[in-house]
Amino acid sequence: MKNVMLLTLGALALSACTVAVRPGVSVTASSSNLIADLQPDRGEGSTYFVGERVRFRFTTRASGYVTLVSLDPDGYGNVLVRDTYVPAGTTLFPRPSDAFTFDLTPPRGVQRVRAIFTTNRATAQIVFSGRYDQNGWRTYTDTYLQPVGASQRDVAETFFTIR
């Protein structure tokens, strides 16, 4: 098994995780403005070392459902959290009630994390695990959101570096 965001014995191994929107990174735009903030616990663009744990601060203006997906430096995409209910306000992931942690593993480099938020449960059954280029990852996000009305969805992305 690969060391990429791997759920094993209660710990989710996150390989190279950089989350932030940088030049050349595009995210599906939304005019709904439902997501107020998404960033790793040390702040966007921060540095973590292999073996450390990362948490994500996610803030919304409405209650709804969030899916967090990561894109590792080597192009592998993984689901961190799928279709999980969150109240309006700030939620830290993993939550204290979650039976997993986000432990960082190689590959080293910039890790991107994308939050896909909908006010109603998403109906698309999309698999986010696999290897993607920028266009493929964007296509999967768009396909996941397609059945949801534009005013009921939002996407945000962040990044950090794994050393």
Q: What average pLDDT does this structure show over 2-14? A: 38
Return the domain boundaries, the chain.
6-162
Mean pLDDT across 110-131: 79
User: What is the predicted pLDDT for the residue at 12?
Assistant: 46
pLDDT computed for residue 78 by the predictor: 86
For the chain, the average pLDDT equals 78
What integer is the mean pLDDT of 9-35?
47
The strand ranges marked E within the chain are: 6-8, 11-15, 35-40, 47-48, 56-60, 64-71, 76-86, 89-93, 102-105, 109-118, 130-131, 153-162
Q: For the segment 87-106, what is each residue's pLDDT rounded down to a tens digit?
A: 999 999 999 999 999 999 99
- Tell me if the bond preceding 107 is cis, omega within 30° of 0: yes
Q: What is the mean pLDDT of residues 113-142?
A: 73
What band does 18 get if pLDDT is binned at 50, 70 and 90?
Answer: very low
The fraction of the chain above a pLDDT of 70, given in percent, is: 63
Residue 113 above 70 pLDDT? yes
Whether residue 18 contacts residue 162, with contact meaning beta carbons closer than 8 Å, is answered with: yes
Whole-number Å distance between alpha carbons of 113 and 96: 20
- Top-confidence residue, 59 or 26: 59
**Could you tell me the pLDDT band of residue 134, with boundaries at 50, 70 and 90?**
low
> Is the per-residue pLDDT at 6 higher than 60?
no
